[in-house]
């Protein structure tokens, strides 16, 4: 799974290129739709630093639906929305800890589910995979999804051993150097340069 993340190259907001076991492949919304058997339609928004700007998204309505007049702390969410928030944070947009506040992207995603508006999950997955690659301290999520992707692209998984990952496995210089690959060592420095702080 680490190899999948290490070799990600962003192609666009709708796709990415990566390499596993020396086989390069393109992953986009269309093949995620096929691999996971999920719709490739609905709202497409992505912004990790601020609110999504889209003609079909009203951030004030989103805040009112989720919090009413309260601040954006999870404790201010109704109980069923807190469960939804945890599901979004662990399965759709996995992150390291910090479940006490709702980020803009989490609110955007929850708002679509709560109001019954369609949201393009393949688009979210592609953009979140790209964002995980760009951060130094990120939860390497989607292990089951990545296994399905690798099987779809006929990556031979024979002999692979399951290793439990820490909840916050880091894409940093030290773990990458443990792999012993010169090309990987060269990438390790780039991760520190490319990381995108979330705030």
Domain boundaries, the chain: 1-153
CA dihedral 45, 51, 53, 56 (to 10 degrees): 70
Please give the residue that has the higher pLDDT: either 118 or 161. Answer: 118
Q: Given this model, what pLDDT does residue 27 score?
A: 94
**pTM score:** 0.76
Q: Which two tokens stand for residue 149?
A: 């992707």
pLDDT class of 118 with cuts at 50, 70, 90: very high
Q: What is the pLDDT of residue 95?
A: 85
Q: Would the pLDDT of 52 be above 80?
A: yes
Output the pLDDT for position 97: 75
Enumerate residues 6+ apart whose C-beta is below 8 A from 156.
Answer: 21
5 is written with which tokens? Answer: 């993340």
pLDDT band at 163 (very low <50, low <70, confident <90, very high): low
Residue 165's pLDDT is 53
Tell me what pLDDT residue 80 has. Answer: 92
């Amino acid at each position: 799974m680490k190899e999948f993340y290490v070799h990600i190259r962003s192609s666009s907001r709708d796709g990415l290129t990566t390499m596993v076991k020396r086989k390069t492949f393109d992953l986009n919304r269309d093949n995620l739709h096929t691999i996971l058997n999920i719709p490739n339609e609905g709202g497409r928004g992505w912004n990790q630093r601020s609110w999504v700007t889209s003609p079909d998204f009203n951030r004030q309505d989103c805040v009112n639906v989720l919090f009413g007049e309260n601040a954006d702390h999870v404790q201010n969410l109704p109980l069923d929305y807190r469960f939804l928030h945890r599901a979004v944070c662990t399965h759709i947009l996995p992150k390291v800890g910090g479940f006490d506040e709702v980020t803009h992207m989490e609110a955007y995603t929850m708002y679509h589910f709560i109001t019954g508006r369609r949201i393009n999950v393949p688009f979210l997955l592609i953009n979140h995979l790209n964002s995980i690659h760009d951060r130094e301290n990120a939860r390497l999520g989607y292990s089951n999804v990545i296994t399905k992707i690798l099987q779809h692209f006929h990556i031979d998984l024979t002999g692979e051993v399951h290793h439990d990952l820490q909840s916050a496995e880091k894409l940093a210089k030290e773990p990458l150097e443990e792999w012993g690959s010169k090309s990987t060592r060269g990438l390790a420095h780039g991760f520190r340069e490319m990381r995108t702080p979330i705030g």
